[in-house]
Structure 1
């Protein structure tokens, strides 16, 4: 295993050990190929560590429900929401109301002080 693989495995193990219920399920099901590819090709090359990065981060939404960010980077006063968007599941295969909901969700994150970074997977 290379340095990234070792760090990635430790990163997931740490977050899995701290979770239960829906948060654990979302992490196990939601952290897939695209998320790992982002971490390896973008995040690891930029930072070389996973400190202050939280996968499948749970937030309350504007309707008092629960939503999950693909990643949240929380450091000092910075709250960065990182979303990994594949064309198919996020844009091509959604209804108008789902599309509208995603835009409203993003607007509310911005209003609540989040910065948003979208990584578009075109595969």
Structure 2
């Protein structure tokens, strides 16, 4: 698995990027074109699997772009920050617990009705 982090800057209408810890770099007229070029640069070094990328603006003229190649994603697409890092097995118990909590809430609401108190009485 390869992780490539790039520091991106805009100057004079052109975006440039340098790898944070390495020799890869790129430039383009737009952030979209720059991201495509940087992914291709990362793939030329490591093409061991699927690709995930993240582009985050720091200021209007600077950003950080990260490309992750490979890893055990299982071929699925995941969007989002922390959710992507959680293993698939850990998500199932959380989903199973959520309906149980909803049932308890409904039960509590019905207990209030049994007290004979109503807003419209």
Fold in common (TM above 0.5): no
Q: TM-score, normalised by structure 1?
A: 0.30
Which structure is larger by alpha-carbon Rg, 1 or 2? 2
**Structure number having the greater helix percentage:** 1
